[in-house]
A and B are shown apart, each in its own frame.
Chain A
Amino acid sequence: MDIQMPVKIGIMSFAHMHAYSYARCLKELPEVEFVGVADEDATRAEMVASDYGVKAFANYEDMLASDVQAVIVCSENANHRRHAVMAAQNEKHVLCEKPLSVTKHDAEAMIEVCKRSNVKLQTAFPCRFHSAFRRLRERVASGNIGRILGISATNQGVCPWGWFVDKKLAGGGAVLDHTVHVADLMRVLLGSEPLRIYAEIGNRMFGQDFDDTGLICIEFANGTYATIDCSWSRPKSSPFWGNVGLKVTGASGTAKMDMFAQKIEVISDTSERLTHEYWGDDADLMMIRSFVKCIANDVRPEVTGEDGAKALEVAIAAYESARLGKPVELPIPSHL
């Protein structure tokens, strides 16, 4: 593949709010030319395009017919497959927002099409690139805390509402939204795959037809057990959106990661609120830099489509476990 820098990138859909952060990153990175955006919502496309000083394509087809080399897919979860496949068939590399898709079958199809089209497929798991996790991973690998016995994790947040609570578009609620990040971190940290999933899932936070509360228990092939609290349990008046935390118990030590601990407390009489302003590493920026690098060097993405599919499988198995009231073995059937 003949790759010239900067790599030309476009964004497909701004349905997911992370798209705004990615757009900012694309503007910031010298190795990237942020070409433009396309969105089913034309007004949104125009607004974003003017904000970032890029082109608003009339539709996805136009953008994919242009000379963009790669796209970031930030549509609603249920549309990821369609958009990623469109991009791949037009020979564009794909960075896809998490969760990779809403079914295991969709995820497998995306991986297959990207492979066949010879384009990169990266899952947007920015937590992988955060310095706190990188350091944790290094220290665990060097044997600092001994063999990992158990991990308790949280990815709790404020309910994002909008299409996130619409099952048709989101594919699920809090469990699908918040299980995948930490499930991915755990797989990488342990170098082992999930074997068995048990979950308690609820909707009592809002009492509506989507899951807002979840506790997932994972058993890994190497014997490590773990839990993930993936609940949308932060009140709307919280000072910060949520957290990504890992508490790791090893045979010779423990480690505690609070990925977004680097915050400044702001108390304002004007807003009559307490807020937390994060000042730590910009993991989105590092993730996109890595995506660009894998295109430029024609190497495997640091976080693959397969990684996205594995994390997704944990969330889907969790729903299945809650439905059955008992643990579910992996791999789960593709139709789920």
Chain B
Amino acid sequence: MNYSRADLTQTDATMNQMRNSVYELARFMGKNGVADLKVKLRKMGENIGKTYIRYWKPTDQVNISNLKDVITTIYQKILNSSVSIEIVETEKLIKVQDQKCALCKYQYDDVEIAGCEIIIGMVSEIINLINKEARDVSSVSINPFEVAESRAYGNKVCIQIYKYKIGGRS
């Protein structure tokens, strides 16, 4: 009897080679004429989120009061990352600073994309799917906005930015 996907949520795997594989994939895509890598990587993240939520979710509803905690929990449980989060209410932005991003560690001269794009796609999808089930007016929806800084771009930390909206899709 093989492992189930639920079993896998209980264990860890080392990312070193998989992280390298993401950048190898980016090279491969670039060589084969894929223009918008960012969209592709975010879509990969969304797909991961869609499957993942069937086996684990941090809570049954996300609103502005628990938003930071939910994001912290997702990063901690799925990516083993301790992040710091800032919510900029005026611009409706969520800034997540990750010092040990699971998908970014080295800067490559020949790749101009950050593995974080996958992460922001996944986290947004997980939160939106939780709230899709909840259907509450106080629910928050978030969308990937940008990877402002990344270790893959030569920065010291990764700063991933999401745009949020209360009560529906942002």
- Is the A/B pair a real complex? no
